[in-house]
Chains A and B, each alone.
Chain A
């Protein structure tokens, strides 16, 4: 298996632009998680899905952030409009079942908002 796939790996954009991050989870996994990592705050959970349904989005910082999972093999995290404080590394992770120890992380998308 190729593991969790994220694209793009790097994104540089200007303030106010829309940013879309993409994730393909490991085939057969029924949980998908979006995280944000910064030096100051560490790794924070933004939202997670179970069987394509959003379960907990309490970590989404503002209405500017939205996430979708239209099918079991694809998810997007969108920021509109983007701001410099959104600059961070965004990780997608997936897992099978309710065993937290089986979360597998993707390589991340490094976002810089100028």
Chain B
């Protein structure tokens, strides 16, 4: 079983819809949780970053972390065609000076105009 599981999609939704992307994980030592966005043939770019449990909002994007359930989510409100990309969750265990990020396999999202 992978440490981080992510539904690969693809996911297609109409413009303006609310999008929910999710990851589950098995390592309870993970403390940092990130969402990266990757456009086709580009490198991933950091979208949201959360430490431990809770919610974080940035414009149309909201990241949620539920450590008790080992479940993280990214919500996109008022989705736009420019949001079409692959979304990767990532997380890390900072103990012992470990700098490694463990990524999900990514969910491909298409916003239909």
Interface residues of A (CB under 8 A from B): 4, 31, 41-45, 48, 50, 55-56, 91, 93, 95, 98, 100-108, 110
Contact = CB atoms under 8 A, between A and B. Distances in A.
A58 to B, nearest CB: 9
Contacts of A104: 45-46
Given A105-B43, A105-B44, A105-B45, A41 B105 contact: yes
A43 B88 contact: yes
Interface string B89-107: 0001010011111111110
Interface of B: 32, 34, 41-46, 49, 88, 92, 94, 97-106
B94 A42 contact: no
Contacts of B43: 4, 91, 93, 105-108
Contacts of A95: 99
A98 B45 CA distance: 18
Contacts of A110: 41
Contacts of A107: 41-43
A101 B88 contact: no
A80 B108 CA distance: 33
Given A101-B32, A101-B34, A45 B101 contact: yes
A41 B41 CA distance: 17
Contact of B97 (A44, A45, A98, A106): A98
Given A42-B104, A103-B46, A98 B88 contact: no
Given A4-B43, A107-B42, A43 B103 contact: yes
Given A100-B34, A101-B32, A43 B44 contact: yes
